[in-house]
A = this chain, B = another copy of it.
Amino acid sequence: MSLPEHHKAARLHPAEKVIKVETLPIPSITHPDDAIVKIKLSGLCGSDLHAYRGHEELHDVVITGHEFVGEVVALGSAFQKGATERPPLYSTLKLGDKVVSPFTSSCGECQSCRIGFTSRCAHQLLFGSEKLPGGQAQYVRVPKAGGTLFVVGSESANSSLSSFSDTSLLLLADILPTGCFAALQTVQHPKILAPLTGMRYPLASISILPGQGELHSVMDDPSWPKVLDEDRHLTIALIGLGPVGICALVSLLDLLSSLKARFRLVAIDLVESRKLKAEAVFNNLPPEARGNGLGEFVVASPDEAKDIVKSWTDGAGCNAVMEIVGNNPALALAYDLIRPFGVIVSAGVHQAPPVPLTGRQLYNKNVALEFGRCPVRTMFPMAVDLLRRRQDIFGEVGTAVGLIDSVVSLDEAPEYYRKFDKGECGKVIFDPWK
């Protein structure tokens, strides 16, 4: 396949804090494990705004964007050789494969990758950073392509994903797995398993303690009162209703529904349009995907949320808070809302300020905290499963319920960065060929 010499790319000029769409030489294979992907669509994500707003120390001009779906148009020599000492990932990827990429590269070979911690692969690089040009462009170079790219359609093999729209597949690059990851970490935390299952904390999830059985309570004292049905009523707050927040919401509701859990969920944002979107999404879910009638759901401002949680729980607070914003006010709000032995899952990309909490505060509430970047490559199966079942939310563009506001030309990137920064639009996707 012969490739053109130049392509179109959006670049952030950090000194001026502006996005410019420019014509640049197209990327080329620089390592045997590289692939070049011709981009069909690339997304604008909330975390693109960190650099845009100057919250990250950038010196160089960078091609932005870390969400893309496209087609493999060039492969390094590793893939041609079919070297037997490499994982199958490095021999099965083919020219012409339709792929989606996690927002960070991962080799698929190191210890972190083997264990599933792909977002902290020893070779990980973030697309759209100074070390790796991003996907808001017509072409992108993907390092460690065998371990990074996820094949969603192939000439040689049927894929169950081939019927999905490109816009919905794009959500697999970051926001849908990130939402699923936040929800899974929340529901599965040992401090949540007790009120969720009705077994007394702490539960032994592996057979290491007298009592045995796969999941059982460590304290087995017949004179101690039993966990009551009313204790199994989870109160959860979700802070941040941008696109990742909506993904976390849908995933959480999906998990809670599967578990037949009783819950009260308050979804919090300052922006009115985001609260309306969250409400529309909830109301349009089929009953079996929003709690089978066992769940209560409201949207609220931060201040309203405090009062709501107080009245719901007689002052006790939330069992869990999902913090999908990534700044200190959101983290401080999460602490205010959490009850003792509660779990705060922070899916936001945090910046330089120290955590706004003291050790004493964390001790006093026996808080559990989970931070960090989603291992997207690992979360694909769970995200794909949800994507398949929720095409109304993830597959449609410009509807009240759909997560994606619009697909626009990459030429409009400067304008849409501005709008997104101001909260004037939701999730936008760039078509670099439009």
Using a CB-CB cutoff of 8 Å, which residues 331-372 of chain A contact chain B? 331, 340-341, 346, 348-360, 362-372
| Chain B residues with CB under 8 A of A92 | 223
> In this assembly, does A250 line the interface, its C-beta being within 8 Å of a C-beta of chain B?
no
* Measured CA separation A120–B379 after assembly (Å): 34
Q: Which of A63-71, A225-233, A278-286 contacts B (4 or more CB under 8 A)?
A: A225-233
Return the contact of A357 from the options B88, B114, B355 (Cβ within 8 A).
B355
Contact in complex: B221, A340 (CB < 8 Å): no
Cβ of A89: which chain B residues have Cβ within 8 Å of it?
223-225
The 3 nearest A-B residue pairs measured at CB: A350-B359, A366-B372, A120-B340
29 interchain pairs (CB within 8 A)? A89-B223, A111-B231, A116-B194, A116-B201, A116-B202, A117-B366, A119-B366, A120-B341, A120-B365, A184-B202, A184-B218, A188-B202, A189-B190, A190-B190, A201-B378, A205-B205, A208-B259, A214-B215, A218-B378, A218-B379, A219-B380, A220-B381, A221-B380, A326-B363, A341-B372, A355-B362, A363-B373, A365-B372, A366-B372
- Chain A interface (Cβ < 8 Å from any Cβ of B): 87-89, 92, 108-109, 111-117, 119-120, 181, 184-185, 187-190, 193-197, 200-202, 204-206, 208-210, 214-215, 217-221, 223-228, 230-231, 255, 258-259, 316, 326-328, 331, 340-341, 346, 348-360, 362-373, 375, 378-382, 385
6 more contacts with CB within 8 A, not counting A185-B202, A352-B358, are A113-B225, A115-B200, A181-B202, A219-B382, A221-B381, A367-B372
